[in-house]
Amino acid sequence: MATQVALLAELQRVDQNIKSNSEAVEARRSALQQLDTQISAQRQQVATAEAEWAALEKRQRELDAQLTDAESKTKDRRMRIARIRNDKELGLVRREIDALKEVMNAAETELLTLMEQGDQRRTAVEAARQALAALETARAAEAAELDATMARVASVIEEDRSRRDTLLATVDVDLHRRYELIFSRRGGVAVVGVRSGTCQGCHMHVPPQLFNQIKRNEQIFLCPSCQRILFWEPQDDESKA
Ligand SMILES: [Zn+2]
């Protein structure tokens, strides 16, 4: 029958497997979450860039309409001038034509600026859309990785959990509690082998008398330096001896 220490060592193998497999799944999940966060931020950027571009195009259409309107009014006033015989009225219409020219000049100047900005805006929208597409591709790949990881480890985790339950039925309750405490505080290593008189957890030398007691694997002994549970793990030459 297996000793308590041997059972604990086996339990630890199972627990370490569960831990590393669960962590692998968790790492994939958190990578996916990070991508989701980046994607929603990028969507916001695309929307902002698109809105800025749309506002610019709207202003361009307004200015185009102003120009068309001013041009047709100018044409109309010039035709009227030919028929005017009155100096006062003539002066009035000429001033009107000058005012229309100013409107057209201002509209043309602004349109030129907007055309330059329009190229920048369009580039910004395209860049934002490309960045979003890249993130979405990365997300799809990450989601596939998560699925693959799940497919690979889900049944293994399930088997390990049931193996763990079986082992726990045979391990002393107090000893298990101690083991859990050390396992969580010592980075997932609670039970360590002693090889050539050295603790494999902290690589400190175990006193010879303690080493001899450990070799029997009957009682529970803790490493004097790292406080982990020790068991004897014979090397080839030691086991032959
Ligand atoms: Zn130690």
Rounded to the nearest angstrom, the distance between the alpha carbon of 3 and the centre of ligand 1 is 21
Rounded to the nearest angstrom, the distance between the alpha carbon of 175 and the centre of ligand 1 is 18
Report mean pLDDT in 10-residue bins for the chain, 241 residues.
84 96 95 98 98 96 97 96 91 96 97 94 97 98 96 94 95 94 94 91 93 84 94 66 43
Rounded to the nearest angstrom, the distance between the alpha carbon of 236 and the centre of ligand 1 is 22
Rounded to the nearest angstrom, the distance between the alpha carbon of 176 and the centre of ligand 1 is 19
Rounded to the nearest angstrom, the distance between the alpha carbon of 212 and the centre of ligand 1 is 16
pTM over 0.75: no
Rounded to the nearest angstrom, the distance between the alpha carbon of 205 and the centre of ligand 1 is 8
Rounded to the nearest angstrom, the distance between the alpha carbon of 191 and the centre of ligand 1 is 10
CA 199/CA 226 separation, integer angstroms:
9
| Predicted local distance difference test score (pLDDT) of residue 240 | 46
Rounded to the nearest angstrom, the distance between the alpha carbon of 183 and the centre of ligand 1 is 13
Rounded to the nearest angstrom, the distance between the alpha carbon of 169 and the centre of ligand 1 is 27
| Predicted local distance difference test score (pLDDT) of residue 234 | 74
Question: 214 with 200: CB under 8 angstroms?
Answer: no
| Predicted local distance difference test score (pLDDT) of residue 1 | 54
Rounded to the nearest angstrom, the distance between the alpha carbon of 34 and the centre of ligand 1 is 38
| Predicted local distance difference test score (pLDDT) of residue 228 | 95
